[in-house]
Amino acid sequence: MKNSKDSFVRGRLRSLKFAFKGAWLLLTTEDSIKAQVFVAIIVTVLGCFFNISSTEWMFQFLVIGMVLVAESLNTAVEKIADFVHPDYHEKIGFIKDIAAGAPTFAGITSLIIAGFIYIPKINLLF
Ligand SMILES: Nc1ncnc2c1ncn2[C@@H]1O[C@H](COP(=O)(O)OP(=O)(O)OP(=O)(O)O)[C@@H](O)[C@H]1O
């Protein structure tokens, strides 16, 4: 909620506090986010193991961020849908389905990037 007495800087700092609170809530309460963070930790370990390049690290962190953003927004849409219409409704189902498409796109992109980074390195092991 905006406080009209806040200066510009105070207002921005307040928003930042709520933004971090949101990120913390996602990390501590949402299983889908916890699962994605777990995958992010695994690929970070893999990146260290295969000693990937700076460019590969950049792409890897970019897609990790992209998946987390998409998953977080999908969670927000699900929460709004459940709040405005807790009962079964075809339209709510449709809205939730298309919202879930966002992390799916991000996930497919991350699999393609992971393939480009790791398949040549795994091939070298055999
Ligand atoms: N109120 C509803 N009305 C109609 N269909 C619904 C409703 N709630 C859920 N669904 C259907 O069930 C699917 C899963 O919804 P849900 O809210 O359980 O998401 P989820 O992906 O399992 O979420 P989570 O991230 O919490 O695991 C939706 O994509 C939709 O097809």
d(CA 22, CA 16): 10
Domain contains 39: yes
Structural domain includes residue 111: yes
The boundaries of the domain holding residue 76 are: 31-125
Does 107 fall in a domain? yes
Q: Is residue 15 part of a domain?
A: no
Is-catalytic flag, 71? yes
Cβ atoms of residues 92 and 85 within 8 Å = yes
Alpha carbon separation from 32 to 70, 111, 123 (Å, rounded): 11, 17, 31
Is 108 a member of any domain?
A: yes
**Residue pair 113/55 in contact by the 8 Å Cβ criterion:** no
66 assigned to some structural domain: yes
Identify the active-site residue in 71, 75, 99, 117: 71
Q: Residue 16 Cα, ligand 1 centroid: separation in angstroms?
A: 30
| Residue range 61-118, pLDDT digits in tens | 999 999 999 999 999 999 999 999 999 999 999 999 999 999 999 999 999 999 999 9
Total domains in the fold of the chain: 1
Neighbours of 98 (CB within 10 A): 11
CATH number at residue 102: 1.10.287.3610
In a domain, 96, yes or no: yes
Query: Tens digits of per-residue pLDDT, 50-63?
Result: 999 999 999 999 99
